[in-house]
Amino acid sequence: MPQTETAIDEVRPAASWALLPAILLCSSAIPLFPLRMLLLGYLGVAVALAIAWYLDRRGLSKGLLKDLSLIALGMVIVSTVSVEADISWGNFFLLGLVLSLAVAGPYVVSRYVYKDRAIRFPWRARKKWTKLQWSYFALILFLGWLILPLSFISSGVYLNWPIVTEPSEIARLFVGVNAVGTWDELFFICTVFVLLRRHFPMWQANLLQTIVFVSFLWELGYQSWGPLLTIPFALLQGFTFTITRSLTYVLIVHLLFDLVVFLVIVHARNPGLFGFFLVNP
């Protein structure tokens, strides 16, 4: 069995010294992304890696520094630019490049420097999806249709996204929303969550990756009472990936959710364009 899947299957202790640097590293996402206090965030990252080095050296953890350093690398790369919603042509390509490097960097270092297969992208499911798993797609669409307009329009969160009225702007928003949604699963699930699962029980790794996930989404625009949606969504994605072991499955879930996000933003910016939402701007 590949190393990553073996690490996921093993039972991890709920209490360990490794939690200290992991919590510190993931919490550093808060000053790095929503607060944009980069020096404080980088200090948190450095202290977390220093503690991980000490724990490995003392035999209190094994390979912790290596795995946390991969997460830190991706976080630091993302922090070099603002991820606030901006679909201008320059930012469109700049953000695409930076987010690509944030996934590719840890993957390349893991594969070719550390010589392991810690980060993998399992597109093929290990088992056929059940009827319940197929029905989950419909549930995501329904809940998105029901909840997202209320969340975005009533709170004014949609104003964090740019005005989109021209066909070119709407097309760029559609591509951007789907590209970022895809990146979310490649980084937060297949990189951050999987690396944390090598050291912690699923529930702990899931909570830790959620801190990073929600911090990023806050800067992106999911503010106000947005975390009431993004926190359970991030937790469900980690749990779903653990069950299905399929990047394809969690990606479909995410992109269905983001499809509704896209439609709600366009609806809010263009009143009367869509008549199938219960809430209007």
pLDDT averaged over consecutive 10-residue blocks of the chain (281 residues)? 49 84 98 96 98 96 96 97 85 92 97 93 86 95 93 88 89 93 96 97 96 95 87 96 94 96 93 82 79
pLDDT at 9: 55
Task: State the DSSP H helix or E strand holding residue 91, giving kind and residue range, or none if neither.
Answer: helix 89-108
Is 195:71 a contact under the CB 8 Å cutoff? Answer: yes
pLDDT at 262: 95
Q: Where are the domains of the chain?
A: 3-269
Is 98:80 a contact under the CB 8 Å cutoff? Answer: yes
Q: Which residue has the tokens 């912790």?
A: 64
pLDDT at 14: 73
Question: Model confidence over 53-111: pLDDT tens digits?
Answer: 999 999 999 999 999 999 999 999 999 999 888 888 888 899 999 999 999 999 999 99
pLDDT at 3: 44
DSSP assignments along 220-246, one per residue: HT--TTTHHHHHHHHHHHHHHHHHH--
Q: What CA–CA distance (Å, rounded) separates 219 from 41? A: 14
